[in-house]
Each structure stands twice: as C-alpha cells, then as structure tokens.
Structure 1
Amino acid sequence: MRETNPARGNAPAGRILDWAAAAMGAGASIAETRTLHDDQGPWRLSVVSCGRTTEVVLRAPTPRIDAAGIATGATALALAAQHGLPAPRLLAADLDGSASGVPATLETAAAGTTAWSSPPSVERLRSTGAALALVHSVAMTPCEHLPFRPRPIAVDDFAADRRAGRMPTTPLLRTADDLITAHGLPSGEPVFLHGDVWPGNLVWTRDDIVTLIDWKTAGVGAPGVDLGELRKQVAITFGPDAPAHVLDGWEGHSGVRPRYVAYWDAVAALNTPTELIGAPTHRRDAFLRMALSKLG
C-alpha cells in the first residue's frame, strides 16, 4: 500500500529515505535527518557515500505543501538549471511516488545562511533585486506545473478572503482592493517567477552570493509579482528605505525600468492577513499607502 504521509513524527518514513539514498548512488546511506520547517518537511539529509558526506534537501507533501507544490518546485529547479539561475540543483524526482511512496524530490542544499544584518547593507538589497532580474530574464508562457501567477504566493488570496467575509478588513485594505480591482491586470510579456520571495528564501554565502530557495509556488507572470513581494517584505522587515534599493538592483541588472511598480506593490500588500503576526502591520500599511499614492 502506498503511503500518503511521508512523516512519522518529525522524520520522513523509511521508504522515502531509501529512495533518497538510492538516488545518491550505490552504497549511499542517510547519516542524519533534520527538519527545516518547525517539525515538518522539507528535510535536510546528510548522505554518506564513498566516505564523503553530502548535504541535500528532501521535499515531499506535508500539511503545508501538496503534491502540486512538489511538482512545481521540481519543474522550476529544472528550468533554473537550464538557464543557470541562482537556485539549488535538482538531483532526483519521483513525482508520481512510484518509487518513494509519495511525490518527492531531492535537491542540493544551498550553502550559506538566510540571516540578515539589521539594517541590511544597500549592496545586499541591490543584489536581491539583481537576482530577481536574472530570473525574470527568462521569457515564457504558462506550462504544466508552472501556471500563470496573478499575485505572489498564489496559493493564498487574502484579498478574496476579506471580500467573502472570511477575514476582517480595514478601510485602507477595502479601498486598496477596490482600486486594484478597478485598475485590472496590467498587460505585459510573461516571465519566469519564483513566486515567494522573502528574506527567508534567500541564502547568502560569506561573499554575499545569493541563492533563491523554495520554488514550490513558482510560475509565470509579470516581473512585478516577485518584485512587489520582495519590496513589501523588506519594507516590513527593514523599513521604508529598503524597497528602493531592491528596485535599483533590478533595474541595474535588467537595464530597463519595471512597469506598474505601484500596482504590484499594492497587490503584494493586499495578499497578507489583515493583522500581521510577528511583524509590524503599520509598516505594511505605510507601504500600501505609498503604492496607492503612485497608482496611475
């Protein structure tokens, strides 16, 4: 019988670990398994083969991530490798679960840390924008496992939740939602998107080389989907000056000005809970007000 949940307690089940070890080559074994998200997957595995230890990341469905997210992540990593983008490399995939028991992928573990100094350096903020511009240089149309994304973290739609009364709202959020709905989706050529760009999905080496991780909500759409999300995230985390440096980095690498920045900033701000937990809601609101003041 095929397993439907790979986790037993805090560790993945034996069958999926056997698959991961086999994917790393004959004689490979798993020496250590560590969770990377509280008590759930993904998992960081220490794999021993021929006397050497390699760190890899195992992904499989959890209460937070379904099979579609696993398939999207695998497809995105394959495309990232094809274009030399700053992302982990896909080592193995079993998307139908025929070998591992559940849909699963294995990828390289990005070297470095997700920790940021506070305040962050201007150079680091610009580097994040430049990294996104590199991803967005891949023009493409939606395809299997990489669907059209009209907003960041497209599995969430907090604006729709507020409209439907499933979440409380505020005058600012209601006004912003009305303006964005009336504005309509801007036109533009679609590009490859990461889909969930925030400081925790950016891994830095000591030399400030960045790798984008966690591609489970990747897709295709306007560059502003990613750019607006990152600008919102750094505004909330680091303050109102940070978003401009992200924009500078994106423009410097791409050589063009992004279109509809205010629209996509507002879309990103709207796709958040009404009250933020563990983050200053007033910074989100200030970011949103600035976007609305520039919305044409």
Structure 2
Amino acid sequence: MIATNATALQLAEHHDLPAPRLIAADLAGNQSGTPASLETAVAGTTNWPNSSPERLRAAGAALARLHTIPMAPREHLPFRPRPIAVDDFATDRRTGRMPTTPLLQQADALIRAHGLPEEPSVYLHGDVWPGNMLWSNHQVTAFIDWKTAGVGALGVDLSELRKQVAITFGPQAPTEVLTGYQHATGHPAPHVAYWDAVAALNTPTTCWTPTATLRRNDFLDEALRNLP
C-alpha cells in the first residue's frame, strides 16, 4: 500500500491533479527501517459543513478530473474491479465468512451474472469518500489517502462516492454528485447502476449504524431496479 500511495502521488503530480506531492519514499525500508513515504501537507479540511447540492456537485466535478487519464495496469497500480479492492465483502458473504441477507444475496447473484462491463481503464483513487477529500473555500484542494489507487472503470470511484454520500447525507445526495460529474465530463457516466451495486456490495453486512445500513440497502435496491 505504501508503494501504491507513492506511485499514485508521483502520477498525480505529473498530471497536476489535486493531491499531496511526494517528497520522498523508502519502499524497501533501507533508510528508515520500515517501508515509508513522506508527502506534503495540503491546506483544507475534510469536514463537510453541509450537504448542499452545490457542494455535492463540486465533489463530483473534482472527481472527474482524476478520470481524464487513460491507463493500463502497471507496477503498484493494479487493476481494480471494485472500490477499496483490498476488501471483498461479497466474497466473504458468499463463502460463509460473514453473514448475509436476501437483498445482498440477490445483488451478488445479479452482479455476477451481469459480468464486468467493457469500459476504458482510467486512473483511479480507489477509496473516494468525504473523509478523503480536502476542502478550502468551497473547492476540493486535494484527494488524500491513495494507498488503494489503481486503474479500472471510472464507476469504481464515482459509485463509491455516490454510495458514501447516500449513507452520510441521504438518498438525494448521489444524484447531485452524478450531476456535477457529468457536467464536468460533458457526457453521461456509463453503467452507473452496475457500479452502484458493486460499491454497495463491498460493505459489511451490518454497517456502523442502523441508519447507515438502511441507507446502504436503499441505495443498493435502487441500483438493482435500474440494472439492465
């Protein structure tokens, strides 16, 4: 993860993306005694004082900047079939390592039957949620925490953010994120329902609060209704 973070920050600087800048990396731990990296501090806060449509659209537009870079997998930036790819809660449920529910079982079966959509691969952050976005003067100054970055379909990032704001702010928030994203790109995002379901499936069966679980379920149910 440290190597991925360092590689991702180098690429972000090369493309002038909103991210910290890598100062140094000791990936083998030869100098520091453990794998380590050092990056710049970035002004801003991860606190979202409100969930206004303007703030949510700005978040979507900022995310669109990351996906302007087409890319194939490379060392330390692997293919990512889902957000936070180091977790695979769907497989944990399927193999009995975690309890499940009828909704999650149905969604898992539909997503597996649907199969991975054919889409161009782009540069991905891999863990887009409000806590990984720094704000200053109503603008996103940086995406932080790049340790699960990689390449893959843009929906991996977009739907993770949509899921996160649905859980945090309620069911209207994902639409505003999508509006901001599509306005920035100038075209519709592909396969949104599929990636929404994938993002929702990559959560624990029971989320951190009853409200979070309910909102996750509502977000997933909406995705399944729109899945071709």
Q: CA deviation at 1:224?
A: 0.2
* Greater fraction of residues in helix: 2
Partner of 2:54: 123
Paired residues for 1:5-154 under 5 Å: 69-118=1-50, 120-154=51-85
4+ residue stretches of structure 1 with deviation over 3 A?
A: none
Q: CA deviation at 1:100?
A: 1.1
Q: CA deviation at 1:255?
A: 1.1
SS of corresponding position for 1:105: strand
CA contact (8 A) 2:62 2:140 kept: no
- The residue identity in structure 1 corresponding to 2:15 is H
SS of corresponding position for 1:280: helix
Q: What is the alpha-carbon distance in structure 2 between the residues aligned to residue 80 and residue 257 of structure 1?
A: 25
Partner of 1:158: 89
Q: CA RMSD in A?
A: 0.9
| 142, 165, 173: which one aligns with 2:104 | 173
SS of corresponding position for 2:139: coil
| 217, 222, 228: which one aligns with 1:290 | 222
Q: CA deviation at 1:209?
A: 3.3
For 1:225-276, what per-residue CA distance to the aligned partner results, in whole angstroms no more than 9, with x for missing partners?
Answer: 0001000000000000000111111111111111100000000000000000
- The residue identity in structure 2 corresponding to 1:106 is L
Partner of 1:201: 132
Work out which structure has the larger RCO, using CA pairs closer than 8 Å and 6 or more positions apart in sequence: 2
TM-score by length of structure 1 reads 0.75
Equivalent pairs counted in the alignment come to 227
Q: What is the alpha-carbon distance in structure 1 between the residues aligned to residue 93 and residue 65 of structure 2?
A: 34
For 1:91-129, what per-residue CA distance to the aligned partner results, in whole angstroms no more than 9, with x for missing partners?
Answer: 1111111111111110011211111124x1211111111
- The residue identity in structure 2 corresponding to 1:265 is D
Q: What is the alpha-carbon distance in structure 2 between the residues aligned to residue 146 and residue 91 of structure 1?
A: 19
For 1:58-89, what per-residue CA distance to the aligned partner results, in whole angstroms no more than 9, with x for missing partners?
Answer: xxxxxxxxxxx000000000000000101011
Q: CA deviation at 1:90?
A: 0.6
Q: CA deviation at 1:208?
A: 2.6
* Greater fraction of residues in strand: 1
Larger Rg: 1
Paired residues for 1:234-273 under 5 Å: 234-273=165-204
Determine what percentage of the aligned residue pairs are the same residue. 66
- Identify unmatched segments of 5+ residues in structure 1: 1-68
TM-score by length of structure 2 reads 0.97
